Amino acid sequence: IALNQTERRILIQPPLLTRGYFLEHNEAKYTERREKVYTCMRIPKELEKLMIFGFFLCVDAFLYVFTLLPLRVLLALLRLLTLPCCGFSGSRLLQPAQVCDMLRGLILVLCFSMMHYVDYSMMYHLIRGQSVIKLYIIYNMLEVADRLFSSFGQDILDALYWTATEPKERKRDSIGVIPHFFMAVFYVFLHAILIMVQASTLNVAFNSHNKSLLTIMMSNNFVEIKGSVFKKFEKNNLFQMSNSDIKERFTSYVLLLIVCLRNMEQFSWNPDHLWVLFPDVFMVVTSEVAVDIIKHAFITKFNDITADVYSEYRASLAFDLVSSRQKNACTDYSDSVARRMGFIPLPLAVLLIRVVMSSIKVQGALSYTCVFLFYLGLVTLKVLNSIVLLGKSCVYVKRANMEDKLFEGPSAAPSTAKSPSKADQARYRKPSGKTNTTHHCRASILNVRSTHVVAFYDNITNVPQATSSQFCTECWFNSEEEEAQGASELKHRTSNKDLLEIDRFTICGNRID
């Protein structure tokens, strides 16, 4: 039988025990796999940096409700009381920010008064009488409802603030301030009750004898990995999911604080019982951190996203903080955090005040003195936290070369992102050299109001390169494939939004509205 030269080479190959092979013939492929391993190893560090920074942002917005908001409400009331003496000047009784503060304070007072009619003990025993499987289903339903409430609640509050501060000379197309106010009070009250049911379910899980409910609730976190890891994620979608994880982690810590307060009250504030609760608290916190690390590590691996993207997310959050501290800021800092992370501090603050007031009895002058000193401590903590966050944010903004964007006025924004100017088209049509590519890529990520052309240029520079084996067999088709791939990337990437333009918390498939 006549054999060609290739078949003869195959027949004379050495046996399996002595056969050798050379990995350097496919160097690019194995180098890419090694980089993926290194990226997964970097994810915990970079992710926790973002989580810690975002956690203290939530702490700052949460402490604002207890510390600075009462003082701002008192200043607004003082202005109303002294207005007849000082004379009326101007078209407004109060400034728009003072009106919003008055509305927040009134919502807190009304919702706290309504929460007195909700019996926490009766709710606890009602939940404790249910079966384990039913409680597990209820807890999952509460998590979904909490996300939906957070998504729609900020819209309700924003509608109230704008309706109350809208210029009078404009034609009104709203239903009025009073209906919006009652909608906001109803929302905050319902959301506070929902969080109370969550805390009661978690308290039942802590106090169960066999800890089966707590184990099932913790396993629910690992189910989250299955629902998110195998989906396609882009950089903007991952940014939203990271903000959602920050909010969930902070909310979990507040719920654990409420559970500990209720348990310590039941045991007459015995410090020995705190060590009984410590293993369960540690187990819940550890599972939260482990699930977030595993989820983000595999999402970045499957979608070819580098670990450096978390520093970009942190710079975007820092930009929000720095821009909200300006004199001509167009929104309050707590509102910007709510829009980024879906974290609304009002319902959680109402519940915490309700639990603390029912757990701790304040009687006598000494008790009121201790409460006043505790309030001064909270104010000090809020101020120190704000100073440290502002300093860190300035560092992150400076590293990302975003400080020049802080002084751009609203008129600097383009009227539409769908029709870029001819100068922008000429600027991004023909890149010249690696330096310009890197500069424009960084500008696309960090620009506050960038056009879709810049977003396309950012993404097209991150096209994965072909491996050496593909290059050896298809090198003469490279030019045509690059042109086709560039056209497909242009069609696919033009709908992406810049990171700093995302201000809406969405949960439906991690999509961007």
How would you write 396-411 as a 3-class SS string?
A: HHHHCCCHHHHHCCHH
pLDDT (0 to 100) of residue 502: 58
Identify the weakest region by mean pLDDT among 128-132, 201-205, 217-221, 371-375: 217-221
Q: Is the pLDDT of residue 456 over 80?
A: no
Q: Is the pLDDT of residue 458 over 50?
A: no
Contact 238, 228 (CB under 8 A): no
What token pair was written down for 248? 């969930």
* Cα–Cα distances in angstroms (integers) from residue 264 to residues 119, 214, 261, 274, in the given order: 18, 19, 5, 7
Query: What is the mean predicted confidence (pLDDT) over 90-118?
Result: 87
Beta-sheet strands, E only, within 61-169: none
Range picked from 83-92, 182-191, 418-427, 458-467 for highest mean pLDDT? 182-191
Of the candidate ranges 51-65, 126-140, 248-262, the one whose mean pLDDT is the lowest: 126-140
Radius of gyration of the chain (CA): 28
Query: Which pLDDT does position 186 carry in this prediction?
Result: 95
Q: Which of 48, 64, 100, 123 is nearest to 313 (CA)?
A: 48
Report residue 88's pLDDT band, with 50, 70 and 90 as the boundaries.
Answer: low
Lowest mean pLDDT, pick from 167-181, 217-231, 365-379, 485-499 = 485-499
Higher pLDDT, 421 or 232: 232
Q: Kind and range of the H or E element at 258?
A: helix 235-266
Q: Looking at residues 300-329, what average pLDDT do you find?
A: 85
User: Is pLDDT of 1 > 80?
Assistant: no
For the ranges 149-153, 292-296, 449-453, the lowest mean pLDDT is seen at: 449-453
User: Helix, strand, or coil here: 363?
Assistant: coil
Which of 1-10, 94-103, 336-345, 455-464 shows the highest mean pLDDT?
A: 94-103
| Mean of the per-residue pLDDT values of the chain | 76
pLDDT at residue 369, as a whole number: 92
CA distance 234 to 23: 32
pLDDT of 198 higher than 70: yes
Question: What pLDDT, on the 0 to 100 scale, is given for residue 434?
Answer: 41
pLDDT of amino acid 328? 65
Of residues 182 and 336, which shows the higher confidence score?
182
Quote the tokens at residue 137: 């289903």
pLDDT tens digit sequence for 266-288: 888 888 888 888 888 998 899 88
Mean pLDDT calculated for residue range 489-497: 45
**Of residues 250 and 488, which shows the higher confidence score?**
250
Model confidence over 382-408: pLDDT tens digits? Answer: 999 999 999 999 999 988 888 777 666
Distance CA 308, CA 183 (A): 42
Q: Is the pLDDT of residue 486 over 70?
A: no
pLDDT for 332: 67
- In whole angstroms, what is the distance from residue 70 CA to residue 372 CA? 13
User: Is 34 a residue whose pLDDT tops 70?
Assistant: yes
Closest CA to 57 of 390, 289, 352: 390
If one counts every other C-beta atom within 10 angstroms of the C-beta of residue 20, the result is 5
Distances from the Cα of 493 to the Cα of 74, 234, 249, 444, 486, angstroms = 50, 10, 32, 13, 10
DSSP string over 243-256:
HHHHHHHHHHHHHH
pLDDT band (50, 70, 90) for residue 446: very low
Residue 193 one-letter amino acid: I
In which residue are the tokens 């045991």 written? 267
Q: What is the per-residue pLDDT for 223?
A: 76
Q: In 230-363, which ranges are continuous DSSP H helix?
A: 235-266, 271-302, 309-324, 333-341, 345-359
pLDDT at 356 over 80: yes
Q: Which pLDDT value is given to residue 363?
A: 83
